[in-house]
Amino acid sequence: MAFYFRTLLVLQTLFLLGISAGCACFYDRIPGIDNVPPAKNPMYIASNDADMVWDRVVDAVDDYFEIEREEPVRLYGSEGRIDTHPRIAATYLEPWFSDSVTAEERLESTCQTIRRRATVRVVPENIGFSIFVSVYKELEDMQRPLGSNSGTASFTYTNTINTINNNITDAPVSSGWISQGRDPALEQRILLKIRYNLENQPMTVY
């Protein structure tokens, strides 16, 4: 019994430390984020340096997701595209991860299993590029309640994450997960990081 109470005390302490540290870490990647104007989605970048813009975009996306595949943009050619692997959302006990942007999102991810994935398109336009950021949020579909006393034979459970093509929208649909729509807070976060990366790098502009 004493071991149980000590374990509970340790978990409570870690949770409180996670909350206090997490609140301080939500905006630690972009200096002065509270004082900058919001970014439009899509965000237009005036530059003729396609390689530099693409590198800055990849660097920003890589801070929040593991990239699954990428097709670099060309200034007078095809658009660039980044698709990421799904990532389980950060909880209050993981303040070092920044994909759960708001306190509400982080609390929700602490109480249930949420994951996100992103698609970023970089489209040549005039003498620059339009950057489209889409972050999709999914809730795990728990077909068998964790606290259920019924036997496992009463449920059909699958843990597959196979992606199903969606012909109606561009949102990915995965078996075992329930779509929760877009995550505008994280989209804004990634766009601001891209803009910060670009503003702190020399650009060649007509």
Radius of gyration, alpha carbons of the chain: 20
First to last CA, the chain: 72
Helices (H), the chain: 2-25, 50-61, 103-111, 184-199
| Secondary structure (3-state) at 175 | coil
Bridge partner residues of 81 (DSSP): 71, 121
> What string of pLDDT tens digits covers the 206 residues of the chain?
554 545 554 455 555 555 444 444 444 455 556 567 888 999 999 998 999 999 999 999 999 999 999 999 987 778 999 999 999 888 888 888 878 888 888 988 889 889 999 999 999 988 899 999 999 999 988 765 555 454 444 444 444 455 545 544 455 556 688 998 999 999 999 999 999 998 876 544 43
What's the pLDDT at 176?
83
d(Cα 154, Cα 16) in Å, to the nearest integer? 39
Bridge partner residues of 121 (DSSP): 81, 132
Bridge partner residues of 60 (DSSP): none
- 175 phi and psi, to 5 degrees? -65, 135
